[in-house]
Amino acid sequence: MRRILLSAIAAVTLCSMASAASAQSFPNRPIRLIVSFPPGGATDVIARTIGAPLGERLGQNVVVDNRPGSNGNISAELAANARPDGHALLLGSDSLFGINPHLYSRMPVDLRKAFVPVTNLVTNVLVLTVNPDKVPSRTFAEFIDFARKANPPLFYASIGNGSQHHIAMELLKRTANIDLTHVPYKGGGPAGIATVAGETVAMFGGGSVVPLVRSGKLRALAVSSNKRSPVLPELPTIGETYPGYVVTIWQGLFAPTGTPPEIVSKLRTEVQAVLKMPDVAQKLINAGSGEPSLISVEDFSAMIADDFVRYGKVIKDTGIKVDN
């Protein structure tokens, strides 16, 4: 019995030593940051803005790997099946973790079991924008009136079926009693290009629409959050017209389950140090990609759980569906 006990203690000690050693040697090759959307959108901007200084701090390059499709399901499956050693990470959104499980009849992986949260990265608002050549409205109220009278209904773009951009507009349709036709694209960049070109005439967007608004190619009318945006403070919130309407977004960093806790902790410390850099924060804000969000991993986990419940109810109430 004593021999068995000593063997067990030795095994635990060796595992602890091996885990500590792996954390000390981490990273020993480039880190792959898997992103759910194509280049040009807010998520891609976040990945590249954070990735470069993070690589400098860790002594290895952070390589952004864009894998768009299925509102993040493709990238999630890829990241979940990666070796859990910290060298492959997922930049995941609230739509992936809070919306997709309710929207798709078959998910490629059980997200709550497949990943451990490393840290939240940014929070952001959605901006309601229109093509100024196709929509004469200069205010949010004028747009609602214009959309209500349009026959046939106006076409609007989203960054994908089931995305928050999609849900935000469906909620607006329901709240304001208007009708619009949904056209999904694979990311904020393609959706913005389509709206500028007139293929669609309206969209909710994050970072991808801010440069288009500033250049005059799109006109911004309102924001989806419960407070005005520091980037576009002149815009009203939709809630000022329709109390209770709120849609906010976040992006976070996740590691495959099984990644050693010491590596997850090291990543969290280094990423949060990057987010505290004034130039990084300013780049994210100026690009419209959101504000750095430095919260505890416990609060981040609670936020994920709350969104799962909240968006499940929204999807049920609005009847939003996508083809699997």
CA-to-CA dists, residue 32 to 117, 173, 220, 251, 254, angstroms:
16, 39, 35, 17, 12
> What global pTM score does this model have?
0.79
Looking at the fold, whether 173 and 138 belong to one and the same domain comes out as yes
Tokens at 162, concatenated: 């089931």
Same domain assignment for residues 134 and 234: yes
Which of the residue ranges 38-42, 68-72, 311-315 would you say has the lowest mean pLDDT?
A: 38-42
Distance CA(195)–CA(219), nearest Å, equals: 11
Output the domain CATH number for residue 263.
3.40.190.150
pLDDT tens readout for residues 94-121: 999 999 999 998 999 999 999 999 999 9
Owning domain of residue 182: 127-240
Determine the Cα angle at 55 with ends 50 and 57, to 5°. 100
- Tens of pLDDT, residue by residue over 188-214, are 889 999 999 999 999 999 877 888 999
Question: Given this model, what pLDDT does residue 3 score?
Answer: 63
Both tokens of 118, joined, read 């490393």
Q: Is the pLDDT of residue 1 over 70?
A: no
| 168 is a domain residue | yes
CATH code, domain with 227: 3.40.190.10
Same domain flag for 138 and 208: yes
Residue 20 lies in a domain: no
Burial label, 35 (beta-carbon count in 10 A; 0-12, 13-18, 19+): buried
Domain match, 150 and 119 both: no
- DSSP per-residue string spanning 139-204: SHHHHHHHHHH-SSPEEEEESSTTSHHHHHHHHHHHHHT--EEEEE-SSHHHHHHHHHHTSSSEEE
Contact 138, 277 (CB under 8 A): no
Which position has the token pair 């390059």? 61
| Region of residue 29 (phi > 0: left; psi between -120 and 50: alpha; otherwise: beta) | beta
